[in-house]
Amino acid sequence: MLSRLIPIFAFALTACTAQAEDGVDAVPVATGLEHPWSLAFLPEGGMLVTERAGRLRLVDPEGELADTPVANVPEVFAGDQAGLFDVVLHPDFADNRLVYLGHAAGSRGANATAITRARLSADNTTLEDVERIFTVDPLKSGRHHFGGRMAFTPDGFLLLTVGEGFSRRDEAQDPASQLGSVLRLDDEGNPAPGNPFAETGDAAIWTIGHRNPQGLTVHPETGEIWLNEHGPAGGDEVNRLSPGGNYGWPERSNGNRYSGGQIPDHEDGDGFTGPDWFWTPSIAPSGMAFHSGQTFPDWAGDLFVGGLASQDLRRLDLEDGRLVGETVLLEDLGARIRDVREGPDGYLYILTDEAEGGLYRLEPEAAN
């Protein structure tokens, strides 16, 4: 599949060029998903997939989509960007069957990103012991910028990305507000011990200065936490997170206001942590994952990022701990790519954000 050549820019204003690249087939696994948002692989095979409208779907090991959604999914606030977001399994899922759902809760006038925890039944058809364990504080209005990605860290704590609610961007710089932050919680939804703002702000906050974080992943070897987020008009970012880091929004961005107003660019020594990579114009990044190289050996250790506005998949070349280049993949698929995950089989899987969305497995392109 041929890819167009596009200009992009790395942090510190180093110009790079996205190279065209062939060699990937997107093989359909399951279709008929309504705006799928995230997926989680079950240890016995198959996977769970969230649909933004508020459904959790089961895909069996043969790729068959169950006719009936998983029962007892919590009610979510849905519309525009609001809805059911991420699904992650507890690190000890094989023993405790605990599932975590990130979602919007409330109403248009007062809502928040929330986490519900439940136990998946042995036959994978029902959620049991359903409990909301966390709700972002403060509440906001509107239906935009929820964040909603989650990931467990190697030491067993749960990270949650939180958008700044679009209309409350200044709170991303307030360590007492959970808006525009990444939170670090224990597996019961309490602030994790040792969080950097426990004495000076909110005890759950791990990093601040985020706009609308839509991708979150853990490096499988180093344990580093990587995040991507939407900028305004340009300035989408990939960030490597450090406890207590301030990533600049809305004081710094390599994009500008939708109205045309200027925002100071990230610069070395400005007091904020700048991105490892950014896109101007925006691609609207989404889910992302590192690849082990089992399927595509030449891409071992590289970071893959879904593009919503760009309708493609980006491969960021990670060399010696630095992002040094980018290629554009799956442009011919012509779909908004919402999530990217590596499965236990070593294949990369993607979800397309459409009314009739699909789950695809990426395979080396078949020889003609």
Answer whether residue 144 shows pLDDT above 90: yes
CB 22 within 8 A of CB 329: no
Q: In Å, how far are 140, 205, 240, 287, 288 from 363, measured between CA atoms?
A: 42, 39, 28, 19, 17
Q: How many CB atoms neighbour CB 4 within 10 A?
A: 9
Q: How many CB atoms neighbour CB 165 within 10 A?
A: 27
Strands (E) across 21-145 are located at 24-33, 36-41, 47-51, 55-59, 84-89, 98-107, 110-120, 127-135
pLDDT band at 10 (very low <50, low <70, confident <90, very high): very low
Task: Assess whether the previous peptide bond of 7 is cis (omega < 30° from 0).
Answer: no
Nearest partner of 348 among 300, 278, 307, judged by Cα: 300
Q: What is the mean pLDDT of residues 334-340?
A: 97
Answer whether residue 188 shows pLDDT above 60: yes
**238-254: per-residue pLDDT in tens?**
999 999 999 999 999 99
Answer whether residue 217 shows pLDDT above 50: yes
Residue 66: what pLDDT? Answer: 97
**77-106: per-residue pLDDT in tens?**
999 999 999 999 999 999 999 999 999 999
Domain 6-364 has CATH 2.120.10.30: yes
Nearest partner of 62 among 78, 84, 47, 46, judged by Cα: 46
Answer whether residue 262 shows pLDDT above 50: yes
**165-176: per-residue pLDDT in tens?**
998 999 999 999
Which positions are catalytic? 145
Q: Is the entire prediction scored with pTM above 0.85?
A: yes
Residue 22: what pLDDT? Answer: 66
**29-68: per-residue pLDDT in tens?**
999 999 999 999 999 999 999 999 999 999 999 999 999 9
Q: What is the mean pLDDT of residues 329-335?
A: 95
Residue 367: what pLDDT? Answer: 54
Domain parsing of the chain, residue ranges: 6-364
Residue 260: what pLDDT? Answer: 87
Give residue 308's Cα distance to chain centre.
12
Percent of residues, the chain, with pLDDT higher than 70: 93
Residue 366: what pLDDT? Answer: 77
**268-305: per-residue pLDDT in tens?**
999 999 999 999 999 999 999 999 999 999 999 999 99
315 Cβ contact partners less than 8 Å away, ≥ 6 residues apart: 21, 299, 302, 303, 304, 326, 327, 329
Residue 21: what pLDDT? Answer: 58
Residue 17: what pLDDT? Answer: 42
Q: How many CB atoms neighbour CB 257 within 10 A?
A: 13
Task: State the average pLDDT for the chain.
Answer: 93
